[in-house]
Amino acid sequence: MITDAGGQSALQGTVSVSGLGGDPYRDGSYQYYISEKIVTNDPKGLGAFLLAADEMDLLPTLGLGKGRTVLLDYYFNNEHHKDITGAMVRYHYTWNDQANSGFSLFGNVFRSYGMHTDTLPAAPTTERLKAASVYIIVDPDNEKESPSPNYPGSKDITAIHSWVEEGGVLLLMSNDSANAEFPHFNRLAEKMGIHFNEDNYHQVTGNQYEMGAFTMTAQDGIFKTTKKIYIKELSTLRLSPPAKPHFTDAGKTIMAIAHIGKGTVFAVGDPWFYNEYLDGRKLPAEYENFNAAKDLAKWLIQQARR
């Protein structure tokens, strides 16, 4: 890359056309390519340059989570629906779901920090959790969402709590009162000093986004690059030691942190980071949910590195 007389970046050495076959015949040889007309900023070369630039932009962050795994629960959240072929497929807050309902962009955030993304479709055990640095449980199923929900039982809770004590970092993301299971999930959360209130805070009418707006403070120790976020229709939290509030609104606890042994728990009453509110197509630009996802992922990895 060089700059032209106006100070704009320019690509050099890109041929204007190239390919194989045709009339006159193009044989793809070295001599053929070096004899083609050279132009600046040809779209084919520009595309390759942008892809390379994107990879270079990631280099400073890839080392943060290198060698570590973020594990997404597929056991307590185990929703399926029919795809366009009629086959039953897993969806809703999954790494592979690229629709509005998916976590594909949130997974990309973790991968941009060098982390390996994996899933846990079976009950959590000491053996199954030991390779994970971060474990995410989001929107546990109720009977409306799954015909046979997997509820957190005593063995599951003991395994997760022990894993956190040994240094694991747990992210708990519930939902509003109509769209998640609470009694069993709260047994797990309460082991960490956190109770999801099964309410529906910040209800939003249509596209009146300000009804779901929260303003972050400049002193926030997690969301360091985020000023304004959007979360609608969430469950607020009630805390007991060792949990402490991280973010409150009008006296209600929205986010909480608990330090347990060597590990850390972060809780929020909404799936929050699904694609619909990260991809920049629906929310107005003033809402920085994508920045918030990057900030939280970075903080979670830093807790795991401790």
Cα separation, 72 vs 93, in Å, equals 9
Contact, 177 vs 185, CB < 8 A?
A: no
Residue with tokens 């949990």: 243
User: For residue 86, what are its two tokens?
Assistant: 């009629």
Longest dimension (CA), the chain: 78
Residue 7 has pLDDT above 70, yes or no: no
* pLDDT tens string 161-205: 999 999 999 999 999 998 899 999 999 999 999 999 999 999 999
Give the Å distances, CA to CA, from 265 to 26, 84, 101, 244.
Answer: 61, 38, 24, 10
* pLDDT tens string 94-126: 999 999 999 999 999 999 999 999 999 999 999
Contact, 49 vs 41, CB < 8 A?
A: no
* Cβ burial, residue 151 (10 Å; 0-12/13-18/19+): middle
Cα separation, 285 vs 138, in Å, equals 26
Ranges 5-14, 116-125, 142-151: which has the least confidence: 5-14
User: For residue 225, what are its two tokens?
Assistant: 């690059």
* pLDDT tens string 21-41: 888 788 888 888 788 777 777
The model carries a pTM of 0.85
Residues 6+ apart with CB under 8 A from 122: 75, 128
CATH homologous superfamily for the domain 64-305 = Class I glutamine amidotransferase (GATase) domain (3.40.50.880)
Gyration radius from the chain CA atoms: 24
Residues of the chain with CATH 3.40.50.880: 64-305
Average pLDDT over residues 143-154: 93
Which strand (E) or helix (H) includes residue 8?
Answer: none
The pLDDT, as a whole number, for residue 2 is 37
User: For residue 11, what are its two tokens?
Assistant: 């690509």
Query: What percentage of the chain has pLDDT greater than the value 70?
Result: 94
